[in-house]
């Protein structure tokens, strides 16, 4: 049996193509990109050695600090928003809607699969202030407030990005956490009910402690996704106004393609990769239980 | 004693329903108990408005002329239904081209991801060889690598071999980028198949390749659909790689094309822009209507990938 399962030729045939493509177009570029951190230039004009200049620049570049700050601010706020609202939805599905939750679950999940650009343009129009007010400003004006130039200043633009991305992804976290809540053994809930736990105390002392693992996984997944944010910001604000809503991913993209500096772009990408690595180590260390199986 | 009986009753009532959380067991039912449901209905109503109204608003405004959009409240129903916005969007937005480009980039990469990924998942989970753990770890590392880290070397490579004017870079990068998650998920699914199945087929005289193709592959058919859906959405909705490697208008995928269309006409041709978004969203909606359960299951299972 060993010899059959250890058939070298079969292993080569099965594993070879995947490993070849993966090595050529993922692993080699990663190492290559690391090499780029020590040079200046780009693919069209050629490269020259720059020593550690990119790294010294990285640590003193106010734009990097700003982009890093934006990424962190976005990741923290989004993680809180996604997990809190997702948990709220999951509780609604499990304890309030119960068997009739399927249709609401399906509806709320839908924006997750819609192309980001479509949603971003929709939100641009919902929050627009010129040449005419969008839906949000119309509502504000109708209740007696004045319209806001939402995408015209950094703080409000940030708010719109967060609102849009939470709207887009809360259904996802709702389903993710819902699947985790279904894993809570029903006899525990039942015996708590027999012991007289109702509503708040049932939630506070039984459901919440038992859902901590899935909440923790959701937080990690959320951070992992949000520090890589690119599409929604790029399509909604393009990083503007100015640099006010530029995450690291977008700053890297601009450095590489608008300013044609591959060396510095790769250095920013390396910073991003290290951030992802730290988060991923958390994922594999803390929770290796499959929440949906 | 009476309380225990009451609880027993509620328990037996509970057994008849599949959901573990159905037992409401209200001990005293007040005549105003329906009032306690009001916040629930309110929550659901608000939720539905928040989720659905923006999409309805989108459809409504896709049927208005630009002057109507500029001069009437945006929540008003269209005065005349301008279905020609859709024709204009289809033409000026070059939707046929972008949909074709997206399909050309997505379908071949999806096929390669599935074939290579399932085979590799099988090899790494079922077969026994030295260095298996190392290879698996190496591939798992690929799940977390952000696309930005491979973007510039790949651009250099494809520029040097003069492939930047085609959709080849997209197909190749999507395949390479989709493999780690696919292999990881497939290895998990193969773990659930008892080893005895493959032992039995070997005793019956099948080679291991034959066992993979005739037994392993069909046994994980549902898992393959799940994984394929995850990868489909990751690729179909990709923006970064599409705008980097297919930036010219004739190579734009749906996402990039929509962005360009919005940049060119978004400030003047509101109706067609909304119509273009409607077409984009509508296509996905059709797929979602048929496969929403598998899609939800797959995407949450693949959540390791941010």
Best mean pLDDT range from A161-170, B122-131, B260-269 = A161-170
Smallest Cα distance from A231 to chain B, Å:
6
Q: Is B286 within a domain?
A: no
User: Which of A105, A185, A269 faces B149 most closely, judged by CB atoms?
Assistant: A269
Residues 6+ apart with CB under 8 A from A76: none
Contacts of A179 in chain B (CB under 8 A): 300
What CATH number has the domain spanning A55-286? 1.10.3720.10
Whole-number pLDDT of residue B26: 45
Query: What is the domain count for chain B?
Result: 1
Q: Is the minimum CB–CB distance between A246 and chain B shorter than 8 Å?
A: no
Which pLDDT does position A288 carry in this prediction?
Answer: 53
- Residue B65: phi, psi to the nearest 5? -80, 160
Domain housing B232: 99-251
Residues of B in contact with A100 (CB under 8 A): none
Residue A43 has pLDDT above 70, yes or no: yes
Confidence (pLDDT) at A157: 93
Which of A26, A35, A78, A223 should be substituted to probe chain B, the one whose Cβ sees the most B Cβ atoms within 10 Å?
A26
Cβ <8 Å between A107 and B198:
no
Q: What are phi and psi of A41, to 5 degrees?
A: 115, -170
Give me the pLDDT at residue B6, please: 40
CB A104 to CB B208 under 8 A? no
Between residues A43 and A151, the one the model is more confident about: A151
Contact criterion met (CB < 8 Å) for B284 and A114: yes
Cα–Cα dist A115/B53, whole Å? 18
Query: Residue A253 — pLDDT band, cuts 50, 70, 90?
Result: very high
Interval B288-304 mean pLDDT: 83
Binary contact (B239, A21; C-beta < 8 A): no
Confidence at B306, pLDDT banded by 50, 70, 90: low
Output the pLDDT for position B16. 37
Write b or e for each residue in A206-219: b if 16 or more Cβ atoms lie within 10 A of its Cβ, otherwise e. bbeebbeebbebbb
Host H or E run for residue A46: strand A46-49
Rounded to an integer, the average pLDDT of B152-158 is 91
Mean model confidence pLDDT for chain A: 87
For A114, the closest of B116, B209, B281 (CB atoms) is B281
How close does chain B come to A85, measured CA to CA in Å?
11
Q: Does B242 touch chain A (CB under 8 A)?
A: no
Mean pLDDT of all residues in B7-35:
46
Is residue A196 within 8 angstroms of chain B, CB to CB?
no
Task: Say yes or no for a CB contact (<8 Å) between A15 and B20.
Answer: no
Give me the mean pLDDT over the B245-268 stretch.
Answer: 86
Q: What is the mean pLDDT of residues B288-292?
A: 89
Selected residue of A1, A27, A115 to mutate for chain B interface (largest B Cβ count, 10 A) = A115
Distance CA B128, CA A11 (A): 9
- Which has the higher per-residue pLDDT, A199 or B90? B90
Report residue B31's pLDDT band, with 50, 70 and 90 as the boundaries: low
Is B7 contained in some domain? no
User: pLDDT for B56-99, tens place per residue?
Assistant: 999 988 888 878 887 888 877 888 888 888 988 888 888 889 99
ipTM at complex level: 0.88
**Under a CB-based contact definition with an 8 Å cutoff, are residues A6 and B129 in contact?**
yes
- Domain assignment of residue B186, yes or no: yes
What is the pLDDT at residue A240? 77
Q: What CATH number should be reported for the domain holding residue B138?
A: 1.10.3720.10
A269–B284 CB contact, under 8 Å = no
Q: Which of A101, A121, A170, A253 would you mutate first to test chain B, the one with the most B CBs within 10 A? A: A121
Q: What is the pLDDT of residue B33?
A: 62
Lowest mean pLDDT among A225-229, B77-81, B128-132: B77-81
Give B28→chain A minimum CA distance, Å: 13
Name the pLDDT band for B111 (thresholds 50, 70, 90). very high
pLDDT at B19 exceeding the cut of 70: no
Q: Which B residues, 83 through 102, put their C-beta within 8 Å of a C-beta on chain A?
A: none
Q: Cβ atoms within 10 A of the Cβ of B227, count? A: 28
Task: Judge: A4–B208 Cβ closer than 8 Å, yes or no.
Answer: yes
The closest CB to that of B208, out of A5, A92, A172, belongs to: A5
Asked if B183 reaches chain A (Cβ–Cβ under 8 Å), the answer is yes
Section B196-207 average pLDDT: 85
| Residue B8 pLDDT greater than 60, yes or no | no
- Give me the mean pLDDT over the B186-190 stretch: 90
Q: What are the CA-CA distances from residue B199 to residues A256, B194, B212, B216 (Å)?
A: 53, 9, 12, 12
Q: Is B304 within a domain?
A: no
The pLDDT, as a whole number, for residue A1 is: 55
**Residue B268: closest CA among chain A residues belongs to which residue?**
A131
| Residues B124, A15: C-beta atoms closer than 8 Å | yes
**Which of A208, A206, A183, A184 has the alpha carbon at shortest distance from A194?**
A206
For A111-134, how does the pLDDT look when each residue is reduced to its tens digit (9 = 90+)? Answer: 999 999 999 999 998 998 877 788
B33 touches chain A (CB under 8 A): no
Predicted pLDDT at A234 = 93
3-class secondary structure, A157:
helix
- Percentage of chain A beyond pLDDT 90 is 42
Interface of A with B in 115-134 (CB under 8 A): 115-118, 121-126, 131-134
Residue of A nearest to B302 (CA): A292
How confident is residue A251, by pLDDT bands cut at 50, 70 and 90?
Answer: very high
């Amino acid at each position: 049996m060993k010899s059959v399962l250890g058939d070298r030729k079969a292993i080569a045939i099965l594993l070879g193509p995947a490993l070849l493509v993966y090595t050529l177009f993922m692993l080699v570029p990663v190492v290559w990109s690391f090499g780029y951190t020590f040079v200046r230039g780009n693919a069209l004009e050629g490269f020259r050695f720059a020593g550690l200049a990119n790294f010294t620049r990285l640590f003193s570049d106010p734009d990097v600090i700003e982009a890093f700050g934006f990424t962190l601010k976005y990741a923290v706020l989004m993680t809180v928003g996604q997990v809190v609202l997702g948990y709220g939805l999951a509780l609604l599905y499990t304890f309030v809607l119960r068997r009739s939750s399927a249709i609401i679950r399906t509806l709320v999940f839908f924006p997750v699969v819609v192309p980001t650009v479509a949603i971003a343009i929709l939100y641009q129009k919902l929050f627009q202030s010129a040449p005419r007010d969008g839906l949000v400003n119309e509502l504000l004006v109708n209740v007696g407030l004045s319209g806001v130039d939402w995408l015209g200043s950094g703080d409000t633009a940030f708010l719109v990005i967060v609102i849009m991305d939470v709207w887009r992804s809360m259904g996802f976290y709702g389903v993710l956490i819902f699947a985790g809540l279904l894993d809570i053994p029903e006899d525990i809930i039942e015996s708590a009910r027999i012991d007289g736990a109702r509503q708040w105390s049932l939630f506070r002392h039984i459901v919440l402690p038992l859902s901590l693992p899935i909440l923790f996984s959701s937080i990690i997944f959320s951070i992992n996704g949000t520090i890589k944010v690119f599409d929604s910001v790029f399509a909604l604000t393009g990083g503007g106004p100015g640099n006010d809503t530029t995450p690291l991913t977008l700053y890297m993209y601009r450095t590489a393609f608008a300013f044609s500096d591959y060396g510095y772009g790769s250095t920013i990408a390396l910073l991003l990769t290290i951030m992802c690595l730290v988060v991923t180590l958390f994922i594999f260390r803390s929770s290796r239980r499959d929440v949906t199986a | 004693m009476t309380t225990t009986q009451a609880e027993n009753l509620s328990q037996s009532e509970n057994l008849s329903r599949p959901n573990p959380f159905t037992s409401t067991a209200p001990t005293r039912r007040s005549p105003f108990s329906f009032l306690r449901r009001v916040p629930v209905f309110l929550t659901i109503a608000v939720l539905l408005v928040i989720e659905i109204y923006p999409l309805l608003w989108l459809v409504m405004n896709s049927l208005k002329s630009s002057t109507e959009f500029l001069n009437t409240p945006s929540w008003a129903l269209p005065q005349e239904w301008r279905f020609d916005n859709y024709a204009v969007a289809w033409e000026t937005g070059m939707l046929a081209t972008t949909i074709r480009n997206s399909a050309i980039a997505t379908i071949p990469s999806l096929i390669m991801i599935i074939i290579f990924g399932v085979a590799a998942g099988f090899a790494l989970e079922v077969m026994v060889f030295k260095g298996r753990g190392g290879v698996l770890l190496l591939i798992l590392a690929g799940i977390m690598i952000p696309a930005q880290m491979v973007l510039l070397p790949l651009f250099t490579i494809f520029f040097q071999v003069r492939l930047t004017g085609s959709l080849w870079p997209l197909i190749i990068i999507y395949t390479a980028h989709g493999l780690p998650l696919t292999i990881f998920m497939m290895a998990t699914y193969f773990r659930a198949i008892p080893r005895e199945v493959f032992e039995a087929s070997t005793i019956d005289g099948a080679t291991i390749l034959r066992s993979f193709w005739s037994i392993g592959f069909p046994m994980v058919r549902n898992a393959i659909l799940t994984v394929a859906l995850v990868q489909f959405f990751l690729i179909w909705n990709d923006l970064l790689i599409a705008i980097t490697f297919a930036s010219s208008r004739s190579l734009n995928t749906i996402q990039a094309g929509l962005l360009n269309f919005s940049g060119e006409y978004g400030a003047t041709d509101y109706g067609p822009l909304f119509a273009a978004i409607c077409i984009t969203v509508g296509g996905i909606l059709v797929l979602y209507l048929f496969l929403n359960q598998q899609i939800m299951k797959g995407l949450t299972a693949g959540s390791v990938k941010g």
